[in-house]
């Protein structure tokens, strides 16, 4: 970047840098304890940007985000075999019953609570950060893109049934090792500087993801 005269960057980091936090609400100052090579690589990326900024003229910010869902267009859908929405949709389309891993967590409905954000909201935050850097306005080195309250896996299952019109009762399986009951982040700093907010409801997250998934099968 320095050789090409590029002196601004918005880095897509990840909530995986926190590992399994032991706090009710994750902030940018929460201890970083990545538990995967992916999370470790994102944290190293943040370190490299900070090092380069000290050594040369580089303006940067890193956006740490959590579970990205939904679709901004029917032309693109999430095919990951590891993400919750595709797993649930594939099960329904195959005539199988979606599964919840554990319903005895200390949460309102007993299922894990996570931050889920719409991909279009995530994209808007990246654009806002880039414009701020381009205008020479001050930015924080990192921002969490979080909802502040989260959504449970049980709530997602109920919304999927409502949106798809496919009635089902999820199968309850044993907990997975290492799954914390709740991981939710504050998005206050991003709201202050990047106009970050949850523009899409859970129903819209499910509906856009389902529409794109069906379009891919058409």
- Is 38 a known active-site residue? yes
180 to 28, 104, 106, 183: CA distances (angstroms):
19, 12, 10, 7
Cα atoms in the 13 Å half-sphere on the side-chain side of 146: 26
User: Which long-range contacts does 28-35 make (Cβ < 8 Å, 24+ apart)?
Assistant: 28/64, 28/140, 28/142, 28/143, 28/144, 28/189, 35/178
What does the DSSP 8-state code read for residue 28? T
The token pair that represents 34 in the structure block: 């990545």
Q: Which of 18, 38, 65, 105 is catalytic?
A: 38
| CA atoms of 42 and 53, how far apart (whole Å) | 17
The answer to whether the CB of 90 falls within 8 A of the CB of 217 is: no
Residues assigned a catalytic role:
38
């Amino acid at each position: 970047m320095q050789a090409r005269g590029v002196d601004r960057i918005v880095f897509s980091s990840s909530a995986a840098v926190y590992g399994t936090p032991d706090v009710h609400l994750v902030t940018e100052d929460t201890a970083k304890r990545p538990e995967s090579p992916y999370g470790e690589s994102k944290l190293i990326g943040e370190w490299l940007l900070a090092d380069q900024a000290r050594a040369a003229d580089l303006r940067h910010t890193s956006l740490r985000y959590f579970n990205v869902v939904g679709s901004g267009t029917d032309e693109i859908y999430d095919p990951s075999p590891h993400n919750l929405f595709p797993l649930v949709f594939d099960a329904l389309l195959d005539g199988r019953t979606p599964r919840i891993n554990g319903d005895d967590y200390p949460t309102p409905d007993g299922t894990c609570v996570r931050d889920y954000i719409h991909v279009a909201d995530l994209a808007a935050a990246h654009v806002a950060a880039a414009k701020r850097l381009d205008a020479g306005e001050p930015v924080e080195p990192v921002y969490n893109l979080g909802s502040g309250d989260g959504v449970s896996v049980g709530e997602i299952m109920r919304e999927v049934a409502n949106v798809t019109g496919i009635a089902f009762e999820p199968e309850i399986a044993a907990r997975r090792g290492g799954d914390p009951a709740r991981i939710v982040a504050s998005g206050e700093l991003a709201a202050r500087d990047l106009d970050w907010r949850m523009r899409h409801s859970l129903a819209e997250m499910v509906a856009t993801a389902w529409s794109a998934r069906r379009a891919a099968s058409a």
